[in-house]
């Protein structure tokens, strides 16, 4: 089945630095990538939606200058948390929609990245 | 706009027993898809089962079945013969089925299931 590889799985960074999270679709073309954020014991909250070759669409309240999303190819999307602060510590997870997929097959999740900002 | 409601923050079930996790939804889309995902403590999202709004029969996948009642806008997950490995968070989600748009998933708040030996 479809696989999305997400790296790193865990990262600790110092406050003020930037962190890049990658999601690669290994065996299908991901025209659309969704980026979610999940705080402990809470649900997944959609941060942004990116389509290959175009600018990401951010959800209300998400700072686009802080969470930079790049979807330059059909197999790679990246999320960069710029000037990270402790409140950015969270679990970030991506989800890709297969190019030709029906809704049933359309959502494949990465394994998630646990970000801790110290 | 779509909305998913999961009213059970936590559930306990005895090993080998069946358990039902509740999910109700609200949408104005004429066609939509309903999903259940399992999230163990490791964080990965594991797809369990899918139901299309126009599917005539309730979906089943092994020990998982989806009790779909369209008129009541409910899509409850039934897990039969619970196993210790079923202990996890369970999320109900939905997406538009057709039409233009990003087909994004909307998630409920989740239910934490604990299986007791």
**What is the pLDDT confidence band of residue A74, given thresholds at 50, 70 and 90?**
confident
Look at B105 and A95 and tell me if their CB atoms are within 8 Å.
yes
DSSP string, chain B: --EEE---SEEEEETTS-EEE--EEE---SSEEEEEEEE-TT---EEEEEEETT-SS--EETTEEEEEETTTTEEEEEE-S--GGG-EEEEEEEEE-SSSS----EE---EEEEEE-
Flag whether pLDDT at A100 surpasses 70: no
A-chain residues within 8 Å CB-CB of B109?
42-43
Task: Calculate what percentage of chain A has a pLDDT beyond 90.
Answer: 72
B-chain residues within 8 Å CB-CB of A114?
43
Given this model, what pLDDT does residue B100 score?
47
| Cα–Cα dist A117/A15, whole Å | 6
Look at B108 and A43 and tell me if their CB atoms are within 8 Å.
yes
A3 in B contact zone (CB under 8 Å) = no
DSSP A59: P
Would you say B95 and B106 are in contact if contact means Cβ atoms under 8 Å apart? yes
Residue in the block written with tokens 């039409």 = B99
Flag whether pLDDT at B97 surpasses 90: no
- Residue among A91, A95, A107 minimizing CB distance to B43: A91
A-chain residues within 8 Å CB-CB of B107?
43-44
| Cα–Cα dist B69/A21, whole Å | 40
Look at B103 and A103 and tell me if their CB atoms are within 8 Å.
yes
B-chain residues within 8 Å CB-CB of A44?
45, 91, 107
Residue-averaged pLDDT of chain A? 91
Would you say A72 and A53 are in contact if contact means Cβ atoms under 8 Å apart? yes
Smallest CA–CA distance, residue A49 to chain B, in Å, is: 7
**What average pLDDT does this structure show over B4-27?**
97
In a 3-state reduction of DSSP, which class is residue A62? coil
Beta strands in A2-112 (DSSP E): 4-7, 10-13, 19-25, 30-38, 45-51, 57-58, 67-73, 76-81, 90-98, 108-109
């Amino acid at each position: 089945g479809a696989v999305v590889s997400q790296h790193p799985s865990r990262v600790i960074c110092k406050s003020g630095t930037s962190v890049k999270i990658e999601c690669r679709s290994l065996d299908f073309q991901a025209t659309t990538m969704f980026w979610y954020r999940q705080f402990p014991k809470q649900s997944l909250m959609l941060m942004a939606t990116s389509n290959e070759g175009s600018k990401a669409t951010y959800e209300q309240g998400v700072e686009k200058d802080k969470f930079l999303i790049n979807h330059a190819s059909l197999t790679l999307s990246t999320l960069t948390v710029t000037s990270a602060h402790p409140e950015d510590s969270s679990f970030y997870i991506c989800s890709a929609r297969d190019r030709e997929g029906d809704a049933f097959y359309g959502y494949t999740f990465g394994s998630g990245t646990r970000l801790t900002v110290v | 706009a779509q909305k998913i409601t999961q009213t059970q923050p936590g559930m306990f079930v005895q090993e080998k027993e069946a358990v039902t996790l509740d999910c109700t939804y609200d949408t104005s889309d004429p066609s939509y898809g309903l999903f259940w995902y399992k999230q163990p403590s490791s964080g990965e999202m594991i797809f369990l089962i899918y139901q299309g709004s126009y599917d005539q029969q309730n979906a089943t996948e092994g020990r998982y079945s989806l009790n779909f009642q369209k008129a009541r806008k409910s899509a409850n997950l039934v897990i039969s013969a619970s196993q210790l490995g079923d202990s996890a968070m369970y999320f109900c989600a939905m997406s538009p089925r057709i039409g233009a748009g990003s087909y994004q998933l909307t998630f409920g708040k989740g239910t934490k299931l604990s299986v007791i030996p």
